[in-house]
Amino acid sequence: MSSMNAELSVNKQASPVPVKSSLWKLSVRRLLKNKLAISGLIVVVFMFALCFIGPLFSPYTDNKIHMAMMNKAPSLKHWLGTDALGRDVLTRLMQAGRISLTVGLASMLLSLFIGLLLGAIAGYYRGIVDQVIMRVADLLLTIPGLPLLFIFGALLSEWKVPTDYRMYMVMLMLSMINWPGLARMVRGQMLSLREREFMQAAVVLGLRDRRKLFNHLLPNLVPLLIVIATLNIGGAILSESVLSFFGLGVMPPTATWGNMIDAANNMIDFQERPWLWVPPGLSIFATVIAINLFGDGLRDVLDPKQKR
Window 75-114: residues binding other proteins (CB under 8 A) = none
88, β-bridge pairs: 82
Name which of 286, 243, 295, 289 is nearest 93 in CA terms: 286
Asked whether position 27 contacts other proteins by CB under 8 A, the answer is: no
Q: Choose between 123 and 297: whose C-beta lies nearer to other proteins.
A: 297
What's the burial of 220, exposed, middle or buried (CB within 10 Å: 0-12/13-18/19+)?
A: buried
Q: Choose between 138 and 164: whose C-beta lies nearer to other proteins.
A: 138
CA 117 to chain centre: 17
| Binding residue count for other proteins, defined by CB under 8 A | 41
Proportion of the chain in helix, strand, coil states, percent, rounded to 5: 80, 0, 20
Q: Which residue from 12, 20, 30, 196 is in contact with other proteins, where contact means CB under 8 A?
A: 30
Stretch that binds other proteins, among 10-18, 51-59, 104-112, 134-142 (CB under 8 A): 134-142
Distance CA 273, CA 222 (A): 46
Closest separation between CB of residue 200 and other proteins, Å? 28
Rounded to the nearest 10 degrees, the angle between the axes of helix 163-194 and helix 145-158 is: 150
CA 38 to chain centre: 18
Asked whether position 144 contacts other proteins by CB under 8 A, the answer is: yes
Distance CA 111, CA 126 (A): 21
Asked whether position 139 contacts other proteins by CB under 8 A, the answer is: yes
Stretch that binds other proteins, among 41-49, 143-151, 203-211, 218-226 (CB under 8 A): 143-151
Asked whether position 42 contacts other proteins by CB under 8 A, the answer is: no
Closest separation between CB of residue 305 and other proteins, Å? 11
Name which of 31, 29, 9, 28 is nearest 19 in CA terms: 9
Q: Choose between 82 and 244: whose C-beta lies nearer to other proteins.
A: 244
Asked whether position 209 contacts other proteins by CB under 8 A, the answer is: no
Q: Choose between 226 and 289: whose C-beta lies nearer to other proteins.
A: 289
Q: Which residue from 32, 45, 151, 268 is in contact with other proteins, where contact means CB under 8 A?
A: 151
Strand spans (E) along the chain = none
Distance CA 238, CA 137 (A): 22
CB-CB contact of 134 with 88 (8 Å) = no
Asked whether position 48 contacts other proteins by CB under 8 A, the answer is: no
Asked whether position 234 contacts other proteins by CB under 8 A, the answer is: yes
Asked whether position 264 contacts other proteins by CB under 8 A, the answer is: yes
Asked whether position 74 contacts other proteins by CB under 8 A, the answer is: no
Binding mask 272-291 for other proteins (x = CB under 8 A): --x--xx--x--xx--xx-x
Q: Choose between 219 and 274: whose C-beta lies nearer to other proteins.
A: 274
- DSSP 8-state secondary structure symbol assigned to residue 156: H
Distance CA 30, CA 26 (A): 6
Distance CA 158, CA 281 (A): 28
User: What are phi and psi for residue 36, nearest 5 degrees?
Assistant: -60, -45
Distance CA 141, CA 112 (A): 16
Asked whether position 146 contacts other proteins by CB under 8 A, the answer is: yes
Asked whether position 242 contacts other proteins by CB under 8 A, the answer is: yes
Enumerate binding residues for other proteins (CB under 8 A): 30, 36, 135, 138-139, 141-144, 146-148, 150-151, 154-155, 158-159, 234, 238, 241-242, 245, 261, 264, 270-271, 274, 277-278, 281, 284-285, 288-289, 291-293, 296, 307-308
